[in-house]
Amino acid sequence: MKRKKVKILGLSYSQSQVGSYVLVLSEIKGGRKIPVIIKPNEAQHIAMKLENIKSPRPLTHDLMKSMSDTFQIDVQEVFIYSLLEGVFYTKLVASNGVDEIELECSIGDGLALSLTYKCPIWVNQDIIDAVGIAINEEEVEDTKEDDDDFEIDSIHDLDTGEEVYSGKSKKRTVSIEDLEHMMDNAIANEEYEIAAEIRDRIQTLKDEQTKD
């Protein structure tokens, strides 16, 4: 089974599915992008990891890592291996140093855990061929040289034509606007400590913009 390594390129509030977020995966070698719909709590954890926001108390994914560390189990990779009826099937590949095990999980949890464990993300080649969004050759060459600086403008749903992802800020994986969405969600869920941490990060980013 041929597969390719990918990374998280962008995270944005969904324009077509209210209450959800679109996470964009990008080939490490190649120009295709894969948009994935994830839940708010998964997006929150991913955003906090990407923005280096420390939670005042352990979140679910952090608790899982603490437990696995205690029993000397390490998640070595996240593998998105199948796509059926719009659902990405994902598994964690873990090891205790002797035995290797595979655990099924949602794609949102898998991507969140890839950041928690700092492990690689792999995608089945067939999935990229089926839903990967290609960019023109000139942009592909640019991304090969410096993919961290590349950002697509938007991604549209192939069925409805609606915009599901918008690259709002050059060189930023999560925009200030999307962090504000997450802060509002945290307040709505009475996660006031997390909301305060996100608020502080937003203010830091705004201060940096003012200096620029």
Structural domain contains residue 185 = yes
Structural domain contains residue 187 = yes
pTM of the model as a whole: 0.78
Structural domain contains residue 67 = yes
CATH of the domain at 139: 3.10.690
Measured over the CA atoms of residue 169, residue 172, residue 176 and residue 177, the dihedral's sign is positive
In tens, the pLDDT along 2-61 reads: 999 999 999 998 877 777 899 999 999 878 999 999 998 899 999 999 999 988 788 888
Structural domain contains residue 104 = no
Tokens (6 digits) for 136: 């023109």
Question: Which residue from 4, 11, 119, 111 is spatially nearest to 61, judged by alpha carbons?
Answer: 111
Q: How many structural domains compose the chain?
A: 1
Residue 196, pLDDT > 80, answer yes
User: Cα separation of 92 and 135, whole Å?
Assistant: 30
User: Which range among 88-92, 132-136, 206-210 shows the weakest confidence by mean pLDDT?
Assistant: 132-136
Range of the domain at 7: 3-71+127-211
- Mean pLDDT over all residues of the chain? 83
Structural domain contains residue 94 = no
Q: Are residues 43 and 51 in contact, defined by beta-carbon separation less than 8 angstroms?
A: no
Structural domain contains residue 99 = no
Structural domain contains residue 83 = no
Structural domain contains residue 141 = yes
170 backbone dihedrals φ, ψ, rounded to 5°: -60, 130
In tens, the pLDDT along 174-184 reads: 999 999 999 99
